[in-house]
Amino acid sequence: MELLKGAPVAKELTARLKAETEKLGTPPCLAFVRIGENPADLSYEQAAMKRLEKAGMTYRSFVYPEDIDPEAFYEAFRAVNEDPGIHGVLLFQPVPKRMSYRRLAGLMKPGKDVDGMSFYNLSGIYTENTAFAPCTAEAAMKLLESAGIDLTGKEAVVIGRSRVIGKPVSMLLLSKNATVTICHSRTRDLPEVTKRADILIVCVGRKHLVDERFIKPGAVVIDVGINETEDGGITGDVDFERAKEAAGYLTPVPGGVGAVTTSVLAEHLLRAYRLCMEREDGKGDGMEIRIRYLSDQIDRLEYIGGKSDWIDLRCAEETFIPAGEMRLIPLGVAMKLPEGYEAHVVARSSTFRNYGIIQANSFGVVDESYSGDGDQWFFPAYATRDVTVRVNDRICQFRITRHQPEVTFTETGCLGGEDRGGFGSTGLR
């Protein structure tokens, strides 16, 4: 059995980052945003601070009491994201249940989202078009890469389906041409499933869940779990002493994925810094997006630069969706994006919940299959019961992205009015 230690990978990556950081005019700065004094959060924060210092980077901590009012925290979190002196933001999760994760994810600027919590970055994992994947998921992949393990055609099993690790690492494995199975608390005969795996990644937060009975002889086992022991130490989701009898490669806890995770965080911060510098240099500025409204019944797009992250898109014409079927809901605008820009689109969950319909096929980048060449946009939806979507109902939200530009819209006409032939003018800066 060969140990997959994180320290050599982290050391090499940190040295490269330090060399690159020394060439910069000012060092990248990361904001740690934390609610309360969770020991696990404090431990990770201290480790990450040390890693950033080794890479020549800086940081600031924003700590809030457990009983902070949600609205006050949302406003504080927005201010951290808007601070031009901060290049990356790390929000410790989970946040208190009284707070809206969805709202916080919407407030997070994708270009500063170094741990991949924003909707843009999470959806990008599925389209292989993302700025930042969650650090721990990417760290697991770097360990596999460091060992020279070719994932093509290999059977990979992930135990755990969390938004932070399980789901994203599954997509990253798939992007490397592995055949992926995701297991969870409802999986039947778990050892029978995991024993098929050439690559086994365990990330459920259950002490010593996996032992030699779960492992195919010679398999690669990546233990992402962190659990406290009786003596105040930490151990993983894998019973190391028993698992090493079957595994070909095995990560220790501590000393495995965790060390690489903080290095990936520093790597993401450097990339975020460069995105911020590109914005300040004006790259991508001055582009014009031309917009037209397809009906005079459609409310105009509402966006206040720097104040709102998402823009509503509304239904253009009454649309009936039979139960059990999918339909493309016609949206009330037409736009053609300049080369290099993308429109990231997500469903409005409240509207869909009220209607009893679900998004049938999420897409992060609007392409010709949805928008045509400057023509009308559509949004795919699947109905769980007969549904009639009304004109002007809010269906989805979008943002135009290229290094997170700010967008302003100025209307000059609509197809339903007198100026039937013209596109409105939209300034993107």
Q: Are 336 and 290 in contact (CB under 8 A)?
A: yes
Q: Is the pLDDT of residue 280 over 70?
A: no
Q: Is the pLDDT of residue 412 over 90?
A: no
Q: What is the pLDDT of residues 195-206, one digit of tens each?
A: 999 999 999 989
Return the SS3 of 72. Answer: helix
Q: Is the pLDDT of residue 93 over 80?
A: yes
The packing angle between helices 135-146 and 257-280, to 10°, is 110
Q: What is the pLDDT of residue 249?
A: 97
Q: What is the pLDDT of residue 309?
A: 54
Q: How far, in Å, CA of 342 to CA of 340, rounded?
A: 7
Q: How far, in Å, CA of 177 to CA of 180, rounded?
A: 9
Q: What is the pLDDT of residue 196?
A: 97
Q: What is the pLDDT of residue 293?
A: 72
Q: Output the pTM of the full model.
A: 0.67
The packing angle between helices 119-127 and 166-175, to 10°, is 30
Homologous superfamily, domain 287-428? Deoxyuridine triphosphatase (dUTPase) (2.70.40.10)
Q: What are the residue ranges spanned by the domains of the chain?
A: 2-274, 287-428
Two domains, one topology: 2-274 and 287-428: no
Q: CATH for 2-274, among 3.30.1360.40, 3.40.1080.10, 1.50.10.10, 3.40.50.720? A: 3.40.50.720
Least confident of 64-73, 335-344, 409-418: 409-418
- Phi first, then psi, for residue 128 (nearest 5°) are 55, 40
